[in-house]
Structure formats: C-alpha cells, structure tokens
Chains A and B, each alone.
Chain A
C-alpha cells in the first residue's frame, strides 16, 4: 500500500511538472477589472499543463473569474458537448473533431491556434532499446498507441500508413495521457505521443524524435461555443491564450504555431 502511494505521488508530480515553469505577466493586469463569473473549458488531454498554467494566470489577473477545465480525449469531449454538457470553450487536438461540432452548429468561429507533432516516448533508460519508428513493428517489444478514435491515434495511424510500417501494438489507449502513463510506469517499451507530452512528463520518460512525424501535423483549433453562458467572458479568455504571452506558454511546452 505504501508503495502504491509513492508511485501514485510520482504520477502526480509528472502531471504537475508543467505548472512549475515561470509564468509571464498577464497583459491587462493594470486595466480596471470588469470580468467575473465562471468559464468552463473542455480541452484535449495534451493541453493539460500549459492550459492549467494559463488559467491560473488569468484567474490571478481577474480575481472574480473562475476557470474550470475538463481534459480528455477530444472525441469524447466533443460527444459530451453534442449531448448537452454545459461548456463555454472547446479546445480540440485536431480539426476533424472540431468539425463535428461545427457541423452540429455548436461552434462560433473556430481558429487553429497551435500545432503538435508525434514523438516516441520511452521509459527512462530506454529498456527496450528503441531507436526509431521501425521498432514499433517488433512483436517482442510492448508498445502502446492511442486509439484511432482519438486525435493522437489517428495521427499515429497516418504516420504508420505514410511510412509503410505495420506496428505490432499491445494496447490502444483512450487518450494520450493514458498512453504516456503506461510509459512512465515502465509497462510499455514505447508509445507514440505528442512532443509536448514527453516534455511535460519529466524524468520518467525520454523522447526520441521521429523525422517522419513532420508529415503528420496535428492542428489544434479553439472555439467559443454557441451555448456559452457568458460569451464575452469566454472570448476574453480565448483572446488571452491567443495573445503573444499566451502563445509563449504553449511554445515553452513544445507546441508550434500554424
């Protein structure tokens, strides 16, 4: 039981590591504050560390504002919004998922804010001796991918199709953080996750760049939702994360811009 606690704590530290980075000043901290209320955001799991940091900055600049963020697989979140889950902003890990909401008339002006590419994540010390994408075809290694139903999985599928490699997969995880956790626990020899996840995972995980990944870039659109409770407040948050200061936080986490 003690061991369980220690490892659970370690997993928690991995998740929190991204929040420790020094944060730039919020842009409008000198202006009189008129914003108040709660902003509810549904966001792709890969955005966890940077968006948490930005939400904390925004709340500091606007003490009457409460930012609530639920992270998960983009497709599951989109399905929740379609089923009527109350939310003000959706931040997706790919455009096709955002499009299902746009087709349902639920988005207001989606904008691609960030890009992300895949990278190979291996446990510290690389016990499986993984050197590149070709090792995913080795049946002797235990490898995890995201399920093709979620953006990191569909990107992985495209990457393998483009390189002609048939991966020998042991588990298809429900979102990118679940795949990464299997790596940081050492249960798999390799997983294909985003560059940003490897960066956020800290010392438990090592990243191996994949030259071919530049061909499969995930584009992250953010959108105000049509059913937002307070559209002006939500838009203020979108403007904040889209500002140069906001984008710096994402860039530090490893994201690119379109």
Chain B
C-alpha cells in the first residue's frame, strides 16, 4: 500500500459512523445489560455453588478435549484443503463445502444429524451398540458435538496460514532430502504455528459455548452432559439469577481465554 494514500479517505463519513455505532451498540449493550443486571451481592455464593462449579469444570474439560481432537484431525484436514488447490474443481469445491456447512449450520441440526448417525438406532450407532458402545447421553457425546461445531474454525484458520506461508522453504527441505513427514514437522508446522494458535483459541471458545448440538445429541444431565450453556438455559426456567451468574461465568471465561492468549501467543496475527 502506498504510504502517500490521501488521509481523507481514512476518515469515516457521518453515515458510516452512525450505522457502525448502532452495530457496535447492538454487540455491546446486551452484554452490558447482563453485567448491570447481575446479582452482584449473591454472585460469590452463586458462582461457587456446586451445580455451577460442576458445569464449569465439565465445560472446561470437554472444551479442552474437543480442542485437542480438533487439532489432531483439523490440522491434517487443513493441509488437505490447502493441497486441494491442485485438484479438479469438483472434488475441490466439495471438500470446501463439506467443511463450510457445519460452520453455517444451526448447531441443533448438527445435533440431530449426529443422533441419526451415532445414536443407538443410528446408521453407525447401531453397530457400535452391538459391541456395547452407546454414545448419546455420555460426556463423549458432548466432546463429539463440540468437535463437530468447532473444527471448521480451526481448519480455516490453519488453512489461511498455510496459504500465506512461504512454500519455497518446503520445496527446499524436500530438495535437501527431507521426507514429507519431516518437511511437515520441521518446516510447515513452525511456519503456520501462529495460525494454529489462533485457530485453537477460536475452536476452544466455540466449543465452550456449544449448546444446540450438545443438548440434542448428548442430552442434559448434571456432571455428565450438562455444560455451562445448557445449565444457564435451564436455570432461566426456574431461577434467572442463577442463569445470569452462569452466563457471567461463561462470558468471563471466554473473555479471559481470548485476551490472554491473543496477547501472549498471537502478537501480530490477531490485532
């Protein structure tokens, strides 16, 4: 970009400022309302109560596991996706669509689909049931549901990094006799590390907030499948103060993860 770009072009006009301001207000005010309406006096008791702690630990544990699963399967998938530029147009577009659809799909639909695939009478689930494995209503189902909705975030973050990485180093490594595995481990991975870190953060926060696919596929039972978002939703039925407290915990955890990881690990990648 030329350094002498005219300054006036950078100044926002009144229409942009007003509309942008309304957009910002829509994003910020509801959260502000949540914070203002919070029962601050009872908050320490509410937040340390057994059901809240149980849901928090379950949420953190399952989100960590599903983020791990996303890394194990999502990084190789991102590599495949970045290699697909050399493929024929049809499989290339199909692959991209297959990864994009879960991203734009309402999570409840994902939950129904998972139930019909992996449920006791599901296409794959009935075989699993015969060998004594039933997934629905288990913590494993929560992890699968979270992985399903969160993985595309990681894949696209890593794929973006792979695309912008300088591929000549890889060619050089190959020329110098490195196997494809060595090249990936010693050259490609370090190159895309910032992209992986950014994807991991997105993936973890998305998994933490997962609701629709989880309640549909995994159900809701305290300590097993009732994660923070589900606990918050159900508490709204009986005790709004508890729901607000749970929502605040979720908001705080997400904010802390996003802020600390960004500053520490992702300088320059996510500004």
* Complex interface: chain B residues within 8 A of A174 (CB): 215, 220, 233-234, 237
How far apart sit A41 and B209, CA to CA, in the bound complex (Å)? 31
Query: A147 touches which one: B116, B121, B237 (CB < 8 A)?
Result: B237
Query: B137 touches which one: A75, A142, A186 (CB < 8 A)?
Result: A142
Within 8 A of A (CB), among B121-138: 121, 123, 134, 136-137
A110 interface hit (Cβ, 8 Å): no
Cβ-defined contact, A173 with B220, below 8 A: yes
A226 interface hit (Cβ, 8 Å): no
Residue of B nearest to A4 (CB): B116
Interface residues on chain A, number (Cβ under 8 Å):
24
How far apart sit A135 and B120, CA to CA, in the bound complex (Å)? 19
CB of B261, distance to nearest CB on chain A (Å): 33
Within 8 A of A (CB), among B141-178: none
From known contacts A142-B134, A149-B234, A172-B220, infer whether A187 and B121 are also in contact, taking CB-CB under 8 Å: yes
* Complex interface: chain B residues within 8 A of A130 (CB): none
Residue of B nearest to A170 (CB): B137
* Complex interface: chain A residues within 8 A of B219 (CB): 144, 170-173, 182
* Complex interface: chain B residues within 8 A of A182 (CB): 219
How far apart sit A172 and B218, CA to CA, in the bound complex (Å)? 11
Cβ-defined contact, A187 with B220, below 8 A: no
A67 interface hit (Cβ, 8 Å): no
How far apart sit A169 and B237, CA to CA, in the bound complex (Å)? 20
How far apart sit A235 and B19, CA to CA, in the bound complex (Å)? 44
Residue of B nearest to A147 (CB): B234
A93 interface hit (Cβ, 8 Å): no
How far apart sit A228 and B183, CA to CA, in the bound complex (Å)? 70
Cβ-defined contact, A75 with B115, below 8 A: no
* Complex interface: chain B residues within 8 A of A150 (CB): 237
* Complex interface: chain B residues within 8 A of A3 (CB): 116, 123
How far apart sit A144 and B136, CA to CA, in the bound complex (Å)? 12
* Complex interface: chain B residues within 8 A of A73 (CB): 237
From known contacts A142-B134, A149-B238, A150-B237, infer whether A171 and B120 are also in contact, taking CB-CB under 8 Å: no
B257 interface hit (Cβ, 8 Å): no
How far apart sit A201 and B215, CA to CA, in the bound complex (Å)? 21
* Complex interface: chain B residues within 8 A of A186 (CB): 119-121
* Complex interface: chain B residues within 8 A of A170 (CB): 137, 219, 221, 224
Residue of A nearest to B218 (CB): A171
Within 8 A of B (CB), among A148-185: 149-150, 169-174, 182, 185
B259 interface hit (Cβ, 8 Å): no
Cβ-defined contact, B113 with A75, below 8 A: no
From known contacts A76-B237, A147-B237, A149-B234, infer whether A171 and B220 are also in contact, taking CB-CB under 8 Å: yes
Q: Give 11 A-B contacts (CB < 8 Å), ordered by A residue.
A: A4-B112, A7-B116, A8-B112, A79-B237, A144-B219, A171-B218, A172-B219, A172-B221, A172-B226, A174-B233, A185-B121
Closest 6 CB pairs of A and B: A171-B219, A75-B237, A149-B238, A170-B137, A149-B237, A186-B121
